Amino acid sequence: MAIDVRKIEIKSVSDASGLDEWIASGDVAADEIVAVIGKTEGNGGVNDFTRILSDQAYRAVLMKHGSRTEAEVKEIPMVWSGGCDGVITPHAVAFARNDATGPDDQDRIVMGTAMSAELFPEDIGRLAMVEKVADAVRGAMADAGITDPKDVHYVQTKTPLLTVEGVKDAHARGETVACEVHDSMGVSNGTTALGIGVALGEIAMPKAEEICKNLDIYSAVSSCSSGVELDRAQIVLFGNKAGAGGRYRIGHSVMKDALDIDGIYDAIRDAGLELPDRPRSEDLGGRVVNCFMKCEADPSARLRGRRQIMLDDSDVHHHRHSKAAVGGVAALAIGDPAVFVSVDAMHQGPQGGGPVIAIVDMGE
């Protein structure tokens, strides 16, 4: 089952005209759309309603053109990351699955999905969440038809975070929670990344005291997001598989720090494009569909030996500083400001850096 991929600019806060146009062109059927990952233009916080607006707009287009029921359309994984700081352009990447196949000696992108067992408030930030996420990642691998974890290059997740109501529920059952409500987005993301790393053999099962503390352990293929809209881990997993068919291939690497443009080009090479030793965006030939990356302010408040002030800034949150900075580096690397850059990157790549995933068009 081949995967087709299309980057679509979001022209206004609730715009899905690009998806509508792609379907109307006849190049893809609405019922073939199986996932959407995008950046919206809100503040990136818990109260960023632009994510909801984009989600509603994209699902409405699929209802308009397709034959799936409303319940079926609601089940399609759509991961929206809020906040287009700096030069980042709001956009979505839509994934469609068709029945094309390819030669057995040629590997191309495949996708699998899974939902974890229910995650309770007391699980967030603890080993129970690591284990439940790891089980779900293994299920998504099986759904994609991937047997070797080394063929997995991107795991995008959405997990629950703590709410006041959830904390009250846990306390009523005699349970405790691992962190404060306002810290739970980062803790949920970090714990999820550890589950991904365990499932793929990147890391051993961590000790309880290492969760969100020992930042030297991480997954290099994880991109984790969290929200209040679900009580399980939603897993969308991408890798390459021989005979899958289609034009697209995926690869990954890591940025060692916020300025590591070479890490971006290494991910593009890993996806299958040959590049010179010192590449520029012009060398890509328009064949990079998109790059997806996570970033975080380095907790040491240093970058290549120089002092950084983003962690001390009381006016602008360090998430917005780091997202804008990495977005600028990524836009320069690929020659396109429509790049997916997300923050809250604990256990997702090295401290001060983060995973980079690239999808490239390998041609017919």
CA nearest to 349, candidates 268, 293, 272, 267 = 293
Structure-derived torsion over alpha carbons of residues 104, 263, 90, 181, reported in degrees to the nearest 10: 110
β-bridge mates for residue 110, sequence order: 239
Measured CA to CA, the distance from residue 161 to residue 229 in angstroms comes to 9
Quickly count helices (H) and strands (E) in the chain. 8, 14
The answer to whether 236 and 157 have CB atoms below 8 angstroms apart is yes
Nearest CA to 343 among 86, 75, 152? 86
Examine the residue annotation and report whether 225 is marked as an active-site residue of this protein: yes
Listed residue (229, 205, 222) closest to 149, CA to CA: 222
Residue 99 three-state SS: coil
**Three-state DSSP state, 127:** helix
Task: State how far the alpha carbon of 183 is from the alpha carbons of 133, 150, 178, 188, 344, in Å.
Answer: 19, 32, 10, 9, 10
Question: What is the phi/psi pair of residue 192, to 5°?
Answer: -65, -45
Please tell me which residue in 188, 219, 225, 342 is annotated as part of the active site. 225
Distance (Å, rounded) from C-alpha 82 to C-alpha 47?
A: 10
Strands laid side by side in the 340-342 sheet: 248-255, 354-361, 288-294, 340-342
Choice among 7, 39, 132, 158 that is catalytic: 158
- Catalytic annotation, residues: 158, 225
